[in-house]
Structure formats: structure tokens, C-alpha cells
Structure 1
Amino acid sequence: MEGTLHRFGPEIWLADGPVVAVAGFRYPTRMAVMRLRDGTLFLWSPIALSDALHGAITALGEVRHLIAPNGLHDRFLGEWQGAFPHAALHAPPCLAARHPDLRFARDLADGPGFAWDGEVDQIAIPGNRITTELAFFHQASRTLLFTDLIQHFPRGWFAGWRAIVARLDGMTAPEPRVPRKFRYAFSDRPAARAAMRRVLDWPAEKLVIAHGPPAEQDARAVVARAFRWLGV
């Protein structure tokens, strides 16, 4: 049910949001909620905020971290910051310039120095002209999270000429893939390859993607196949 939290593993919950349109293409939305050891909440890729979702999340703990995992998932950040003004908003550097109305904390980047160190890891996948995306790894549940670089829509999700475009792009392939538009947008493949090798070193078992069903096993194998074209 839309906007309902369901447990995905130890200290991690998922919620699906409304379908949004981008250039006429319909995209489902999904967020993840992770509860850290101090009881505070880390919200990955926030979806539309409803009263029911607000209540379910606040019942889990204090919202402390709002995470925009790439430069494209920014549609609902304002309503979340309005509802949770004391939460720190973290995003790739490009979003701060695009949203002068929002208050951003430290830019997302590789490396330590974040409040969630030792519980949630992140690696930036650099060199893409469409967006810089960060992959995340939730240690307690061994869950790997991708936003747009991996997608998996069912056949029939799109109609008309958009269905043809989606098929050619790899969005409706038999298993999760990196859409061709993102593949072609990598201007620095060696840097992306090095980052993805680090991602595949994580002991991930589960996979969450924003645009497609989660995988509850073999996460690394699924991701390795999706990025096989990159030579990882």
C-alpha cells in the first residue's frame, strides 16, 4: 500500500510512494528508513510525505538525516525539511545551487566524518554527465541501495512510443540494468569502474532500487551483471 512502511531487514524499512512523471515517463518512487544505533533515523530518497507516513516514521524514532542520493531525487525534499526542520539534509553538491530555498548540511561524499559512520557506508559513482549518484550500504541488514543507475520496470509499464524507448534503453529488460542513457553519459569510465569495484566489495545480500522491485538475495551478483558492460 502506498505510503506504508514495511520492514525489509534489521533496522531498515521501505515505503513506496506515488508515481511521478518525468518527460511523460511514469516512475514509481521508493524510500528507505534506517534506524541508527542511537535511535535516530536516516531517510534515503524521501518520497511524498503523507500524514500516515509521517506518523509511522515518527513512531520509529527521531528523523535526524535526510538523504538525496543523487541530483535527480529532489522533488520532495522541501516538504520533509519543513516537517522535520532539525534534520540535516545531505545531497550531492549540485543540489544546493538548484535549491537556494533549502538548508543543506555537508555535501555527500566518500569517506568518514558523517554521523552514520560505521553503520551506513556510501560511495560516489563519478564521471556521469546526467547525475552523480551515491551507492549506499546498510551494514545491519546487508542492504545495498541504488537510485537511478539501476532500474527494472516490468514489461507493459510504459505505453506507446515510450514503451519502445524504454525497451531500447534497457529499462524493461528481463533483470535490473543500467539504462543505456546512463551508460553513454559516463565520461570517466575508469573512475566509475574503480568506484563500482569498491561497491562490489561490500558484503551485500539485499538490493533496493528506487525504480524496480527489491532483491532479497544475491545482491552483489545482480549488481555485477548490471555493470558488466563497465568491466567490473
Structure 2
Amino acid sequence: MPPSNAENEIIIREVVKDVWIFSRPFNLFNRLPVGGRSTAIKLKNGDVWLIASTPLTSSTRSKLAELGVVRYIIAPNAFHNLFLKSYKDAYPEAKVIGPEELNEKKRAEGWQLDEVFNTSVPDPKLGFEDEIEHCFFVGYKNKDVAYHHKASKTVVAADLLFNLPATEQYSQTQNKPSFPIINSWSANSWVMRMFVWLKEGDFAEMQWSARKVGTWDFDRWIPCHGDVIETNAKQVFKEAYRRYF
């Protein structure tokens, strides 16, 4: 659930030209301080592409209105869906995109995604490929999709990489994002490699996806959980996924 003072705790900043992040505290299972983050990208035609993983606060709405018209609302995996309906209600003309598994959850809310990733159509044509390419990790249990904004050399994804502690996401609170037992869950830690291994559903599919991302020209990675990897992100990704290279 969003914190009661979500409006005051959200941090909005431009990471690089036309790429904005919306960061906030979030405790997984009401215990683990992993943080949460949405990411908005202003496309060349003025439309806004948005990974929606944080509450739609008034400050979030104001910034999105400044950027342009929200045309794409992205659910980055099968678990980041808590706030999707509020965004869809606010931007009814936007196309909601995510893994097919989410439709089962959304059916209970009385709606469905507009475009889905699944094993039959792992590479759907979504309308923004010239600027943002994607890779569906079919073999990853969380059904994550990585997105690469070519102009800024930035990858945006949910649970493919964690980079904890979530310093920025907790910077407006009195709480420290210290993680029980584990001192660090940085993106290039053994904990991250173990997490990837535990989430592996199919080795061959994971290898194909990891190697595809490895061909992208990127330097920055924006995760939903933890601090932004501002530089050298491609090497960090290959270290975390070295089992597949």
C-alpha cells in the first residue's frame, strides 16, 4: 500500500534529457525497504511513455502534464501492477502494455491490458520501437521486460536488476533503507546473481534475452528498486547475468 504521506515523500528529477524518475519509499511485504520508482520518457513527437510503479500523486500528474500527453503506460513485469488502474483511469486514451499474466489480475478489476507480451508474441509491435526498443525475458519467472531508450543510452526495467540500498527513494523520510541480514544488494553483488538464478525459469530463454540486452548501446540503468546506475551499467548487467554470457 502507498504510504499515507506519499505526496511529500515522492522525489521527481530529470536523470538525463527527456527522462524523468518518480521515486518513493516502498517496503516489500511491509518489511523490506526496496523502494519504488516510475519512469517517464518524453518521445520526439511530444508523447509520454511511462512505466507506472508509484502512486499517481498530484505532483506526478503535474509533471506528466508538463512533459506532454501520456500515450503509453507500461507494466514492466507481472508484479508491478498496483497503480495501473489509477493511471488508466486518468489517461484513458493511453495504451496499457505488459505481460499477459497481468490480465488475470486485471479481469477482477473489470478491464484488460491493450497490448501484451507472451510466449506466442514475445516481440509485439508497440509503436515506439524507433526510440525505445524492448526485450521480453520469457525465461524469467517475473516476466520482466527491459526497455532501452536509445537517445539517452538508458535501460529501464523493474526486477531484472536491484541496486540497494534505495538511498534516493528514502531520502525524504526519517527511515533508513537498511536491509535485514544482507548488508548490500547492489546490482553487481552475489545476492543479485543469486536472485537471478532463483528467478530463472528457462536457461536457454534467459541466455537469449540477456545476450540481446548485452548488444544494446547503454550506459545507464534505471531499476524500480534501488538507486539509478548512472554509468557503466552495461558492465554491471553482464556481471549480474554472467551465467548467460
- TM-score, length of structure 1 as denominator length: 0.87
Are 2:147 and 1:140 aligned? Answer: no
Q: Equivalents in 1 of 2:112, 2:151: separation in Å?
A: 29
Q: Equivalents in 2 of 1:117, 1:174: separation in Å?
A: 27
Q: In the alignment, residue 172 of structure 1 is paired with which amino acid?
A: W
Q: 2:134 aligns with which of 122, 132, 137?
A: 122
Counterpart in the other structure of 1:215: 229
Q: 1:95 aligns with which of 97, 102, 112?
A: 102
CA 1:143/1:80 → structure 2, altered by over 3 Å: closer, same or farther? same
Deviation (angstroms), 1:172 = 2.4
Q: Tell me how large the CA RMSD over aligned residues is.
A: 2.2
Are 2:168 and 1:157 aligned? Answer: no
Counterpart in the other structure of 1:231: 244
Q: In the alignment, residue 34 of structure 1 is paired with which amino acid?
A: I
Are 2:89 and 1:78 aligned? Answer: no
Are 2:75 and 1:62 aligned? Answer: no
Q: In the alignment, residue 133 of structure 1 is paired with which amino acid?
A: D
CA 1:103/1:136 → structure 2, altered by over 3 Å: closer, same or farther? same
SS of the residue 1:107 aligns to: strand
- TM-score, length of structure 2 as denominator length: 0.82
Q: Deviations over 1:13-70 (max 9, x none)?
A: 1110242432632330011100112111000133111111111111110011100010
Q: In the alignment, residue 180 of structure 1 is paired with which amino acid?
A: M
Counterpart in the other structure of 2:173: none
CA 1:73/1:56 → structure 2, altered by over 3 Å: closer, same or farther? same
Q: 2:202 aligns with which of 188, 202, 227?
A: 188
Q: In the alignment, residue 123 of structure 1 is paired with which amino acid?
A: C
Q: In the alignment, residue 144 of structure 1 is paired with which amino acid?
A: V
Identity among equivalent positions (%) equals 21
Aligned 8 A contact 1:6 1:13 in 2: yes
CA 1:203/1:189 → structure 2, altered by over 3 Å: closer, same or farther? same
Q: 1:22 aligns with which of 15, 18, 29?
A: 29
Q: Equivalents in 2 of 1:97, 1:178: separation in Å?
A: 29
Q: Equivalents in 2 of 1:52, 1:90: separation in Å?
A: 24
Q: Equivalents in 2 of 1:97, 1:174: separation in Å?
A: 31
Are 2:116 and 1:107 aligned? Answer: yes
Give the total of aligned pairs: 223
